[in-house]
Amino acid sequence: MNQALPKKAAFHHMEDGTAEDWAIIGTEALKCRATLNERIVSHLMLLDGDDGGFPVDRLTHCLQTATLAHKDGKDEEYVVCALLHDIGDTLGPANHADVAATILEPYISEANHWMVKHHAIFQGYYFFEYLGLNKNLRDEYKEHPHYDRTLEFIEKYDAPAFDPDAETYPLSFFEPMLARVFEKPKQSLYLTDSE
């Protein structure tokens, strides 16, 4: 039994697109958005076994960071940020925090976005000097309203999450949170007034 192929837009150049074409594309975009959390989990799994020289692999680090935040009573959005803060390690080793922040931005608060985007600068306090960099680079942001939030994230959740013996919740524990946070963007260029 042959299944019908999904309908596709008819144009070859965007300027030739019609309302019908964009309705097809819009429907497909909504289907894609509905499975985003599954693709994020798949990408997060790329960190499994990749220790980068650390005492635990990158996935375990992310899970430990989220576990610590959850156990400390942080809300789901914050915990998801903790879980995904290093998801950019594989695609953006030179700017991993920016990659994570960009993925999360449409779905989270401005405060959490800033925290994820700047966490690499704040964690540099522990090792930048060994790379010939300024370990106090984070001090440039001392007057920023999210400085204390980001500092807390690093000190309480990110920096301590390299312990092979620490309690670490499995990814399955966090998947329902991921689904809820990524269910619908809070802000996006592609949201209409009816959304």
- On whether residue 12 sits in a domain, the answer given is no
Compute the distance between CA of residue 108 and CA of residue 112 in angstroms, rounded to an integer.
Answer: 6
| pLDDT number for residue 5 | 60
Q: When comparing pLDDT for 158 and 50, which is higher?
A: 158
pLDDT tens, 110-154?
A: 999 999 999 999 999 999 999 999 999 999 999 999 999 999 999
- On whether residue 111 sits in a domain, the answer given is yes
| pLDDT number for residue 39 | 94
- On whether residue 187 sits in a domain, the answer given is no
Determine the length of the chain: 195
Residue 49 has pLDDT above 60, yes or no: yes
Structural domain including 53 reads: 36-181
Residue 34 has pLDDT above 90, yes or no: no
pTM of the predicted protein model = 0.91
| Structure-token pair, residue 26 | 């819009």
pLDDT tens, 55-112?
A: 999 999 999 999 999 999 999 999 999 999 999 999 999 999 999 999 999 999 999 9
- On whether residue 25 sits in a domain, the answer given is no
| CB-count exposure of residue 55 (10 Å: 0-12, 13-18, 19+) | exposed
The alpha-helical segments, DSSP class H, found in the chain are: 19-34, 36-44, 58-71, 76-84, 96-104, 110-123, 147-152, 171-181
Compute the distance between CA of residue 24 and CA of residue 17 in angstroms, rounded to an integer.
Answer: 11
Q: 99: helix, coil or strand?
A: helix
Is-contact 37 175, C-beta < 8 A?
Answer: yes
What residue has token string 């390690």?
89
Q: Which of 28-37, 47-56, 112-121 has the lowest mean pLDDT?
A: 28-37
In the chain, how many domains are there? 1
- On whether residue 17 sits in a domain, the answer given is no
Mean local confidence (pLDDT), 168-193? 90
DSSP 20-64: HHHHHHHHHHHHHHHTHHHHHHHHHGGGTT--TTSSS-HHHHHHH
| pLDDT number for residue 2 | 57
For 17-46, b/e burial (b = at least 16 CB within 10 A) is eeeebeebeeeeeeeebeebbeebeeebee
Q: What is the CATH number of the domain that holds 51?
A: 1.10.3210.10
- On whether residue 4 sits in a domain, the answer given is no
Residues 6+ apart with CB under 8 A from 71: 167
Q: Which of 47-51, 61-65, 82-86, 155-159 has the lowest mean pLDDT?
A: 47-51
- On whether residue 2 sits in a domain, the answer given is no
For 121-134, b/e burial (b = at least 16 CB within 10 A) is bbbbbeebeeeeee
C-alpha closest to that of 57 among 90, 80, 82: 90
- On whether residue 154 sits in a domain, the answer given is yes
